Structure 1
């Protein structure tokens, strides 16, 4: 009976961690969109073609944001793999 209660308590913590990872991965997209939209709007104001440059800035920002997210995921996976390798090396000794 106590084992079942412990399992129920541990599961929400794991899902919270997964949700945090998903939120962190979207930060690059949000940042890219905001920067692209602002830069595109500024260029659109100067060139007197807001619609075109706002859309272009948003598209370019999304691409840059996706690249930032990919780099962050790659860094996290490398650090996780290196931590796992260190743990297995210590166990082997």
Structure 2
């Protein structure tokens, strides 16, 4: 479905895959309000490591990428930078 959506989109499409192992996924999830609703056991049933699209359209972002680095990459790749925005040194 995502491959078809990207192919049907007129203009550029940018797809990203956050490659985070399950332990790190659970750790990050615990910091969010949804953590009280969705348990790690439920998440284990949904989690698929390296679940990339077969088309290879996605840019992989590893779990070592900081939030700032990830946002900077996406803003730069997509040219969706807000007015006055400059990357951090």
**Quick check: TM above 0.5?**
no
Question: Comparing both chains, which one has the higher relative contact order based on Cα–Cα distances under 8 Å and sequence gaps of 6 or more?
Answer: 2
Q: TM-score, structure 2 length as denominator?
A: 0.26
Please tell me whether Structure 1 or Structure 2 has the larger radius of gyration of its CA atoms: 1
> Which has the larger helix fraction?
1
> Which has the larger strand fraction?
2
